[in-house]
Structure 1
Amino acid sequence: MATIDQALYLVQLLEAELIRRGPEITRHNDYYRGKHPLKFASEEFAKFHGDRYRDFSDNWTQVVGDSPVERMTVTGFQASDATEADKELWKVWQVNGLDADSQLGFLGSVVNARSFVLVWGDPSDPDMPVVTFEDPAQCVIAYEPGSRRRRRAALKRWQDGNEDFATLYLPGEVWKFARPRLAQTDDKSLQMMDVDEALKRWKPRELDEEPNPQPNPMGVVPMVELPNKPTLSGDPISDVTGVIAMQDAINLLWAQLFTASDYASFPQRVILGAERPVIPKLNAEGIVVGTQPVDIQKFAVDRVMMFNDKDARIGEWQAANLTMYTSLIEVAVGHLAAQTRTPQHYLVGKMANLAEGALLAAETGLVKRTEEKEIWSGQGLREMARLIALARGEDGKADAMRSGRVLWADVESRSHAQMADALLKLKQLGFPFKWLALRYGLTPTEVADVIAMRAEELDMDPVTELTRQMTGSVPQVGNVPPEDGEEPMPDEGEEAAA
C-alpha cells in the first residue's frame, strides 16, 4: 500500500503530464468546433482583414473526424471459447447508456488522440458496475516501464465550483484529493503568493461514508485508454493533426476570395482628364461666394455624372476571375481527402451517377481506416469488459475476456438489396442463420429475438415452413415425403449425379 507522500508524488507527476497535453487538446477541440485563427496571411492582409474573418471557417475538420466514428458501433462482447455473445456484459453496456456514450469516446479518441474508460463497482448494486467514457483533458494513465498495456496508476482530475478534485487509482487502493481553486491575479504580494501556494497543494478529501484511501477490490487499475494511431516510440496521433495545415490554407483562400469579391467582382471604371465636379456655394442672400465639391456618393446613387472637360474620358478594367480561388479550394479539399482517406463525395458534395460497386470502392480507404480504429479501440474495450467482470466478482469470465473479442457492426455501407443478395449467396454456401444475422448488423440480443420469432412461427404454422422447404425457397432439412401425385424430391446424392 502506498503512503500519502507516495500518492501525492504520483498525483503531481500525472498532473504535470495532463498540463503538458492540455494545449494540444484545446487546439484540436477548437478546430473540430470550427474555431480557426486566420493563418498564412501577410501582415498587411491580417491587419486590415483579420478581424473581418475572425469568426469565419470552412470547417472540414469536423467531417474528417466524424466520418469513421459514425461507422463504429459495438454490438456485443464474446469471451474466448464461447459461441455466443455474453448477455450480462451487454446488459451492463446498455444500462450504462454506452450505446450513445461510446460514440463520444470514439470521437474523443479520433480528435484528441486518446480517450478513456473508467469502471468501478456500485455498492448499492454489485451486479451493475458503473462504466463511463472519460475526457482526455481530465485523465491520464501511467504504464509500467517498457509496457504499453500494464497500467501502474491512473489519475482523473476535474473542477467543480471553486475546488479542484483528483482521484488516484492504484492496483491496491484509490486515493481522493481536493484543493481550492484560487483566482489568478498579478497584484498579489509575495506573502499572499506564498499563502496561495500552500492552499493549492492537494490534500486528502474528508469523506463521511468511505475511507480514504479505500481498497480496490479489482486488483488492477480500473481505467483503460483507447488510443488513436498509436506509435511505438511516441504518443498516439490525432486525426485532426494532419488536417490543421490544409484547413488553415482553405480558410485563407476563402478570405481572399471574399475580399476580391468585395473589391473587384464587378468591372471598375475610372474617369481621366477631368476635374472633380463642383457646385456653387451661396450665402444667405443667394450670392455665390465659392464652390464646393460634389459628394461622390450622390453620383453612385443617381448613376449619372456630368463633366465639361474637353479631355475627359472613361477607362475600365474587367472584373476579377474568382474561379481561380474556387479551383484552388477544390484542389486543397482533394488533398485533404487523400491524406485522411475520407471519400471525395463526403467533402466535395457532388454525387456522380455511380454504381454501388463504384461507391464501395471509393469508400475503401475510409473502411480500412475505420477497421484500424476498431482494432485499437477493441483492445481497450476488451480490457473494459474484463474490468466489468472483475467488478462483478466473476474471475473466470474476466480471465476468458483477456483473449475474448469485441463484436462490431459492419463498417461498409451497402444497400439492403445488395446486402440481402450477398447474404443469400453465403447462405447457399452453408453459413448458419445466426452468423448471417450478425453479419446483417443485428446485435446478439436481436438475433436471439429473431430466432425465437422463427421458432414461434413454425409452431403456429408448420405446414407453411414445410411447403417452403419442398419448393426450395429455403434449404431442405431431411427427406420430406411427397404429396399425392408429385414426384419425390431427389436427395443430395441424386442431385449430384444429375
Structure 2
Amino acid sequence: MTTNDTLEILTAKLDESQAPLSQLDQYFEGRQPAAFLSPKSQEALGNKLRVLGVNFPKLLVNSVAERMQVTGFRAIGDSAADETLWKVWQANDLESQAHLAHVDSLTYGRSFVTVWSGPEMPRVTVESARQMTAIFDPASGVVRAALKKWTDGKQHYAVLYEAEQITRYAGKENALKVTDVIPNPLLEVPVVPIVNRARLLDFDGSSEMADILDLTDGLAKIMSDAMVSSEYYARPRRWVTGLEIVEDDEGNPVNPFSDELGRLWQSESPETKFGQFDGSGLNGYGDLSAVLTQQIGAVSGLPPHYLGLNGDQPPSADAIRSAEASLVAKVIGKQRTYGRSWAKVADLVLKVANGQNTRDYETLWAAPDTRTPAQVADAAAKLAGIGVPLASVLADPMGYSPSQIEQVMQAQRAAQLSQAGTDLSAFLVTE
C-alpha cells in the first residue's frame, strides 16, 4: 500500500467519524436535541425550552475518569518507580493531559498519544479522535498508520505517521501537498491509541455513554412533559356558570372580569355559580423519572448517591463503599486496559531517548476506591506493625505517588541522621 493510498483511507475514515463523534459531543455537553418533544409541546412552551437535558452521560464519564490517576511507571521486576520516565511525564504536563485523554477516550471511545523527539527530551502529546484516526492490523491489532488533520484559519494541515516515515502536508482541504518527509528510526508508528475497548475486535473502542443515551433521552422527555404540565395544567383553573356572555361588535366574547378587579370575580346575577377545577398532579412524572434514573444507575454502575436517589438521609461510610463497588470494579478494569497503552507510551519514550528499550513497564495508578483517613491510617499501621517496608505502605494503602514516597523517604533518612547525631563534616572535601 502506497503512502497516498494510506492517506486516502485514513482521511475517509476520519471524515466518516465526525458525525457520530459530534453527536457524542452534544450528549457530553448536555446539548442533545429533544428526542420526544412533540410540536404541540414545543408550542405550549413557546419554543423557550427546546432542550432539557439531564446530563448523566457527562457525570458517568467524569466519575470514571476522576478515579483514573497515573502515579508512575515501574519496570517489571523492580520495586521502585522509574524517575526518568516520571520526569518526562511531568515535563510534558501529562499529569493533566492524561486525564483529558481518559475523558476523550471514555466519551468518544478512543484518544491518541504521540511520542517524538523534542529539543531536550521526548515530546509526548495527547490527541483527540476529532483530529486523529488510525488503521490497525486485523491479525495483531498493531497500529499500521495514523493520521492527524487540523486547520489554522483557512490553511489545512495533516501529518501521516507510518513505520518507515512521517509525512507532513499543508494546503487546501482537498489539495494537500507534501511539505516534509522525516525518516522514522523507530520502525514503528509512534502513535498509541487509548481505546475504551469492550471486546476483542473493538479496535476503535466504544463510548462509555452509549448504554445510557436512550435512557437519558427518555428522562429528558419526562422532564419536558412535567414542565409543560406545570405550566398549563398544574395550576388550578376556575369555572363560572349562569353568567351571560357579552360579545363585542365583531362577535368575539368579552371577558366579564376586567383587570381592574384583579383576582376578584363577582356577578350581580343570583344564578351565577363559581367553582375551581383540581390542579393536575405531577407525582407520576416524579415516579417515572425515578425509575429511569434507577435504570441509568443499574446500566452505568453509578451509585445511588451520585444520582440523587438517597433523599435527605446521607449514607454511611460503609454504605458508600458498598454502593461504589460496581463503579470501582469498572475503573479497575479500565486501568487494566489503559495501563498497557500507557506502558507502550513509556516504551516509546525510552526508545526515543535512548534508541532502544529492553525492559517491559507497568503503569502505576492511584487507588480508585473511596477511603476514609481513619481506614487508611489503621491499615497502614497494621502493615507497618508486621514489618512491611515503609515504601510499600506509602504506596498501598496510603496511595502516595512515587515522587511523594521519595520525598517521605528522604525526610525519614534526614530525621534518622539528625536523631543519631551523626557528624558528616569529616567526610566533606575541603579545598
Would the TM-score normalized by the shorter structure come out above 0.5? yes
Q: Kindly indicate whether residue 147 of structure 2 is the aligned counterpart of residue 155 of structure 1.
A: yes
Change (3 A) 1:254 1:300: farther
Of residues 430, 433, 436, the one that matches 2:387 is 430
Kept in 2, the 8 Å contact 1:75–1:443? The answer is yes
Kept in 2, the 8 Å contact 1:330–1:348? The answer is no
Secondary structure at the residue paired with 2:175? coil
Aligned-pair RMSD on alpha carbons?
Answer: 2.3
Spell out, residue by residue over 1:427-485, the C-alpha distance to the aligned partner (whole angstroms, 9 max, x if none): 2333221111011121112111111111111111249xxxxxxxxxxxxxxxxxxxxxx
Change (3 A) 1:449 1:296: farther
Distance 2:68 2:213 in 1: 24
Alignment match, 1:201? 175
Kept in 1, the 8 Å contact 2:246–2:256? The answer is no
Of residues 142, 166, 180, the one that matches 1:174 is 166
Alignment match, 2:337? 376
Alignment match, 1:405? 362
Cα drift, residue 49 of structure 1: 4.1
Spell out, residue by residue over 1:200-245, the C-alpha distance to the aligned partner (whole angstroms, 9 max, x if none): 232112xxxxxx2111122210000011133223442211111211
Alignment match, 2:84? 88
Cα drift, residue 142 of structure 1: 1.4
Distance 1:371 1:145 in 2: 27
Cα drift, residue 292 of structure 1: 9.4
Of residues 112, 134, 138, the one that matches 2:127 is 134
Distance 1:160 1:351 in 2: 51
Change (3 A) 1:429 1:410: same
Distance 1:309 1:84 in 2: 95
Distance 1:241 1:141 in 2: 22
Distance 2:4 2:261 in 1: 74
Is there any run of 5+ residues in structure 1 with no aligned partner, and where? 182-199, 206-211, 282-289, 464-498
Residue identity opposite 2:365 in structure 1:
W
Distance 2:247 2:23 in 1: 57
Residue identity opposite 1:163 in structure 2:
Q
Kept in 2, the 8 Å contact 1:74–1:99? The answer is yes
Cα drift, residue 30 of structure 1: 1.1
Kept in 2, the 8 Å contact 1:8–1:202? The answer is no
Cα drift, residue 312 of structure 1: 2.5
Kept in 2, the 8 Å contact 1:129–1:388? The answer is yes
Is there any run of 5+ residues in structure 2 with no aligned partner, and where? 422-431
Distance 2:36 2:128 in 1: 32
Alignment match, 2:299? 339
Q: Kindly indicate whether residue 218 of structure 2 is the aligned counterpart of residue 274 of structure 1.
A: no
Residue identity opposite 1:315 in structure 2:
G
Secondary structure at the residue paired with 2:209? coil
Cα drift, residue 278 of structure 1: 7.2
Cα drift, residue 59 of structure 1: 1.6
Kept in 1, the 8 Å contact 2:328–2:368? The answer is yes
Kept in 2, the 8 Å contact 1:168–1:174? The answer is yes
**Which has the larger displacement, 234-243 or 347-356?**
347-356
Distance 2:215 2:251 in 1: 56
Alignment match, 2:429? none
User: 1:346-365 residue pairs with structure 2 within 5 A?
Assistant: 346-348=306-308, 350=311, 352-365=313-326
Change (3 A) 1:277 1:462: farther
Cα drift, residue 277 of structure 1: 5.2
Cα drift, residue 18 of structure 1: 1.0
Kept in 1, the 8 Å contact 2:42–2:50? The answer is no
**Which has the larger displacement, 100-109 or 420-429?**
420-429
Secondary structure at the residue paired with 2:258? helix
Alignment match, 2:27? 31
Q: Kindly indicate whether residue 255 of structure 2 is the aligned counterpart of residue 302 of structure 1.
A: no
Spell out, residue by residue over 1:127-156, the C-alpha distance to the aligned partner (whole angstroms, 9 max, x if none): x111011101111121223122x2211111
Q: Kindly indicate whether residue 201 of structure 2 is the aligned counterpart of residue 233 of structure 1.
A: yes
Change (3 A) 1:366 1:180: same
Higher-Rg structure is 1
Change (3 A) 1:355 1:48: closer
Residue identity opposite 1:157 in structure 2:
K
Kept in 2, the 8 Å contact 1:277–1:307? The answer is no
Alignment match, 2:278? 318
Distance 1:50 1:177 in 2: 50
Kept in 2, the 8 Å contact 1:143–1:152? The answer is yes
Secondary structure at the residue paired with 1:392? helix
Alignment match, 1:187? none
Cα drift, residue 81 of structure 1: 2.4
**Which has the larger displacement, 269-278 or 30-39?**
269-278
Cα drift, residue 270 of structure 1: 1.1
The number of equivalent residue pairs is 418
Residue identity opposite 1:229 in structure 2:
R
User: 1:93-112 residue pairs with structure 2 within 5 A?
Assistant: 93-112=89-108
Of residues 112, 117, 120, the one that matches 1:121 is 117
Secondary structure at the residue paired with 2:240? strand
Distance 1:384 1:99 in 2: 14
Distance 2:21 2:272 in 1: 63
Alignment match, 1:414? 371
When normalised by structure 2's length, the TM-score is 0.91
Kept in 2, the 8 Å contact 1:272–1:313? The answer is yes
Distance 1:295 1:357 in 2: 63
Q: Kindly indicate whether residue 414 of structure 2 is the aligned counterpart of residue 446 of structure 1.
A: no
Alignment match, 1:389? 350
When normalised by structure 1's length, the TM-score is 0.79
Cα drift, residue 273 of structure 1: 3.0
